[in-house]
Amino acid sequence: MTQTELQQFLDEKVIQYNQPKFIESDPIQIPHQFSKKEDIEIAGFLTATIAWGKRPMIIKNANKMMSFLDNSPHEFILNHSQKDLDKIVHFVHRTFNIIDFTFFIKALKNIYQNHKGLEAVFAKNSTNNTMQNSIHQFKNTFFEIPHPKRTTKHISNPLKGSAAKRINMYLRWMVRQDNTGVDFGIWKSISPSVLSCPLDVHSGNVARKLGLLTRKQNDWKALSELDINLRKLDAKDPSKYDFALFGLGVFEGF
C-alpha cells in the first residue's frame, strides 16, 4: 500500500473500532462507571496498572478494586485509614498483589495531597513531542514515599527501555478526545499530539505487517519508531491508531 492507501485503511479501522460498543469488552469500561473527574482518572489508572492478561479477568479484578475503594475512589484515596486498608484482603492480579495495591492507594494519596493530582504530575514534564520523560518523572514522584521494592516493577520506565504500554494506554484514555464516548479527553493540559500508541504483542505484530515498524522487540526504541510513522499519518491524533492496530490484531487476526 502507498502511504495514502495505508492511512485510508487505518482511518477506516479507527472508525470501525472507536465506537461505544468497544467499551463493552474493554477495561476502559471501569472508569466509565464514574462521572467525577478524579474518580475517572483514579479508576483508569488502577485499571490500566493491571491491564495485562485476558481482558475478562482484568475487568473482574478491576471491579474488585473499585469495590474495595467503596466505589468512590477519590474519596477513599484521600480519607482512608489504616483500618480501611486492613480490610482489603485476598487481592491478587497475576503479580500485582495486596502489598502493591495498598501502596498504590498511599502513593495516590500523596499525589493528590501534595502534587495536585494525576493530571498535574503527568503534565508537568510533558514535552512538545513525547510523554516518555513525563512517564519517567511520574514514576519518580509515585515512589518518592517509602515503598516496597517489589512494587516498583508495576510502573514502567521508558528511559530504562520499556514501551510503557499500560501507561500510554492510560494517557490515551485521559487525554484523547474522540467524540464517540470511548476515550475521555478530560485532561486538557496535555496535547493528544504527544501521545504514543500503546505497543504490545498485538499492535506490534500488525504494525510490522503494515510496514509501520521494523524493530523486532516491543521496547522503547520500537515505540519511538512507531511514533514517527503514525505521526506521518495524523500528527494531531496519532494514538487513535491504537484502535486500528488492536482491532486488526485481536478481532480480525490480521
pLDDT in tens, 219-241: 999 999 999 999 999 999 999 99
Q: How much is the pLDDT for 90? A: 86
Q: What is the percentage of the chain residues whose pLDDT exceeds 70?
A: 100
Q: How much is the pLDDT for 165? A: 96
Q: Report the chain's terminal Cα–Cα distance, integer Å.
A: 15
Q: How much is the pLDDT for 57? A: 96
Helix axes 220-233, 201-209, angle to 10 degrees: 60
Separation between Cα atoms, residue 182 and residue 81, nearest integer Å: 34
User: In the predicted model, what is the mean pLDDT of the chain?
Assistant: 95
pLDDT band with cut points at 50, 70 and 90 for residue 170? very high
Q: What is the mean pLDDT of residues 186-208?
A: 95
Q: How much is the pLDDT for 218? A: 95
Q: How much is the pLDDT for 125? A: 83
For 19, phi then psi, to 5°, come to -130, 155
On the question of pLDDT at 112 being above 90, the answer is yes
For 96, phi then psi, to 5°, come to -95, 115
Q: Please spell the DSSP secondary structure of 53-92, one letter per residue.
A: S-HHHHHHHHHHHHHHTTT-HHHHHHH--HHHHHT--S-E
Separation between Cα atoms, residue 167 and residue 205, nearest integer Å: 20
Q: How much is the pLDDT for 19? A: 95
In the chain, the number of structural domains is 1
For 93, phi then psi, to 5°, come to -130, 105
On the question of pLDDT at 128 being above 80, the answer is no
Q: What is the mean pLDDT of residues 97-102?
A: 96
Q: What is the mean pLDDT of residues 120-137?
A: 90
Q: How much is the pLDDT for 89? A: 81
pLDDT band with cut points at 50, 70 and 90 for residue 127? confident
On the question of pLDDT at 24 being above 90, the answer is yes
Q: How much is the pLDDT for 16? A: 96
* Cβ atoms within 10 Å, residue 170: 25
Domain extent for 17? 3-250
